[in-house]
Amino acid sequence: MQARLVYAGCIALWLMLSALAALSIASRSLLGAEQQFNNQSQQLSEQLKQRLLTNETVLDSYATFSAMDHRGEARKKHPFVLQLLRRYPQITALAHIERVPADELSDYSQQLRREYGRAYHLRGFDDAAMASPGQEAYFPLMFAEPQSKSNLRLVGRDAWQQPQLREALQDTLNSGRTALSRQMKLPQGEPGYALLRGIDNHLSSNLQDLQPRHFAILFIRADSLLPAGFNLPTGMELRIHHREDAAAEGEAGVLHLGENRASALERLLFPRLETTQQLGGNGQPLRFTLSWQQGWAQIGLFEWTVWLMLSLLLGAGLAAAGYGFVRSSRLRRQRENQLFHLANHDRLTGLANRNLFYDRLQHAISRVDRSGKRLALLFLDLDRFKPVNDTYGHVAGDRVLQLIAARIQEVVRDEDTVARIGGDEFVILMEDVESNREADKVASRLQQAIQQPYQVEQHRISVGVSIGTAYYPEDGLLIDELLAVADRKMYGNKQAIGRQAEAVD
């Protein structure tokens, strides 16, 4: 039982130490993953800021060029504009918006027909939408580069009627700075943003008109915000959105990259890393959120191998320690049992000695006092044993004593106690004795068994035995009293046998 507890404790300790080792190794791996996450976040932030700065620089360049082009030469395929489009493929179109007050709408319509044809007129931003009457001013697109069929269809469309463009225009009119629209559907049909700013018109003679009449606008694909060839590690997610747009996964207006496939167990055991940063300042109010749910994939093969080897070494060490402890405990118990046996048993016959017999007799008396039953004490003394030692030697005498002890144990019950308390003296403790007759029968069988000859080497040896019986509590209440009564009756028996032998002679 103790060995099982020791081995169970070793197994429990091994599991605990293995778990601690796994936690330590996993923490090291997760610390490296966290550093990788921080580096990825910093690198991505710098790249996104650089991309936004590039877009704003292109818009400033185009706005400056448009301000200088007061004669409208940019409506042609100007090399500068074409170079911008080739160099920055994330820009799907460069466009020009003009603010037209309501009282000048007629002049604008005539100019639009004169430059593009009679089919062109002011209309809503969508194909089927009509111009909204009653506005104080309209913001139609005058032209767009590159001059493709899809961009020509933009001419005359009122940007004010497009919700995202209207917000950006309003922001520009109020603040005078560059404004980025919320994510919208670009004229080419793909999701993107519009970046616009006012164009200073130095030739304007209307000093009271403090708001710009002309605006430069870039249409930028949403996915172009990410660096070319950008890839995320497994389990990492990136969401880029306008600060006014929802950031929840699956919401419109959110550029989402990556996928979290972590299991419920991984979400329970491993931490989730997440960072959110603002981009672009007030002019381009974007926000990106980078998250990474850690999992088993972050613990590499090397870490698993180290943990397995460490776990095996711990298991082997604990197994050896447990086996050594159990073996040491077993040997100690064996030595204790051996010492106890030597202290309480006769070395020659293996029977109980005087100390053990007294102890058992005391316990037997205590039990008899509680149960009300009787016990018998048989005192045996061998007859004609001294001549055996004198004639055949002590070795033969010792062998005879061993054979006598074996015969006594065969006669008595298993629960009876047999002890050797002297050289040729034995005592037998019989518990739960119903009557004197029961003890007398045992004494008779003992005499018959002991008086049978003994074959020791080539010698045939015979001895006799005298038996005296004492009963508790009739013959005494103390151990010494019982032994004295049994010894006196034994001597009486011995004298009777001696007189019978003399009469026969």
Q: What phi and psi, each to the nearest 5 degrees, are found at residue 81? A: -65, -40
Q: How confident is the model at residue 248 (pLDDT cuts 50, 70, 90)?
A: very low
pLDDT tens, position by position, 428-445: 999 888 888 888 999 999
Q: Please provide the distance, in angstroms rounded to a whole number, between the alpha carbons at the two ends of the chain.
A: 65
Which sign does the torsion angle of CA 406, 411, 417, 421 carry? Answer: negative
- List all residues 6 or more positions away from 79 whose beta carbon is below 8 Å from its beta carbon: none
pLDDT tens, position by position, 108-154: 888 878 887 777 778 877 765 566 677 888 888 887 777 777 777 78
Percentage of residues in the chain with pLDDT exceeding 70?
A: 91
- List all residues 6 or more positions away from 185 whose beta carbon is below 8 Å from its beta carbon: 191, 192
Q: Is 498 left (phi over 0), alpha (psi -120 to 50) or beta?
A: alpha
Q: How far from the centroid of its chain's Cα atoms is residue 414's Cα?
A: 57
- List all residues 6 or more positions away from 203 whose beta carbon is below 8 Å from its beta carbon: 70
- List all residues 6 or more positions away from 226 whose beta carbon is below 8 Å from its beta carbon: 48, 238, 240, 255, 257
Name the most confidently modeled range: 182-186, 202-206, 251-255. Answer: 182-186
Superfamily of domain 69-225 in the CATH hierarchy: CHASE domain (3.30.450.350)
Do 360 and 377 touch, CB atoms closer than 8 A?
Answer: no
pLDDT tens, position by position, 310-339: 899 988 998 898 888 888 888 888 898 888
Which tokens belong to 293? 């749910």
- List all residues 6 or more positions away from 246 whose beta carbon is below 8 Å from its beta carbon: 252, 253, 254
User: Is residue 26 classed exposed, middle or buried when 0-12, 13-18 and 19+ CB atoms within 10 A define those classes?
Assistant: buried
Which pLDDT score, from 0 to 100, does residue 207 have? 43
At 220, the amino acid letter reads I
Answer yes or no: is pLDDT of 368 > 70: yes
What integer is the mean pLDDT of 10-32? 86
CATH 3.30.450.350 residue ranges of the chain are: 69-225
User: Which of these ranges, 141-150, 284-293, 367-376, 453-462, has the smallest mean pLDDT?
Assistant: 141-150
What integer is the mean pLDDT of 295-309? 84
Q: How confident is the model at residue 427 (pLDDT cuts 50, 70, 90)?
A: very high
Which pLDDT score, from 0 to 100, does residue 398 have? 92
Q: How confident is the model at residue 410 (pLDDT cuts 50, 70, 90)?
A: very high
User: Measured between alpha carbons, how far is 28 from 31 in angstroms, rounded to an integer?
Assistant: 5
Answer yes or no: is pLDDT of 268 > 70: yes
What integer is the mean pLDDT of 256-273? 83
Do 236 and 40 touch, CB atoms closer than 8 A?
Answer: yes
Which pLDDT score, from 0 to 100, does residue 73 have? 46
Do 109 and 141 touch, CB atoms closer than 8 A?
Answer: no
Q: Which residue has the higher pLDDT, 298 or 250?
A: 298
Do 30 and 298 touch, CB atoms closer than 8 A?
Answer: yes
pLDDT tens, position by position, 176-200: 888 888 888 887 778 888 999 888 6
Q: Which residue has the higher pLDDT, 72 or 9?
A: 9
What integer is the mean pLDDT of 151-162? 83
CATH 3.30.70.270 residue ranges of the chain are: 354-504
Percentage of residues in the chain with pLDDT exceeding 90?
A: 17
Q: Which residue has the tokens 């319509």?
A: 109
What integer is the mean pLDDT of 370-374? 77
What integer is the mean pLDDT of 328-357? 89
Question: Residue 95: which of 162, 176, 174 has the closest Cα?
Answer: 162
Q: What is the mean pLDDT of the chain?
A: 83
The answer, yes or no, to whether the previous bond of 453 is cis (omega within 30 of 0) is no
- List all residues 6 or more positions away from 345 whose beta carbon is below 8 Å from its beta carbon: 351, 352, 353, 356
**CATH number corresponding to 354-504:** 3.30.70.270
What is the 3 state secondary structure string of 103-128? HHHHHHHHHHHHHHCCCCCCECCCCC
Distances from the Cα of 57 to the Cα of 88, 241, 259, 278, angstroms:
11, 21, 33, 19
Which pLDDT score, from 0 to 100, does residue 4 have? 84
Answer yes or no: is pLDDT of 32 > 50: yes
Q: Which residue has the higher pLDDT, 6 or 406?
A: 406
Which pLDDT score, from 0 to 100, does residue 76 have? 54
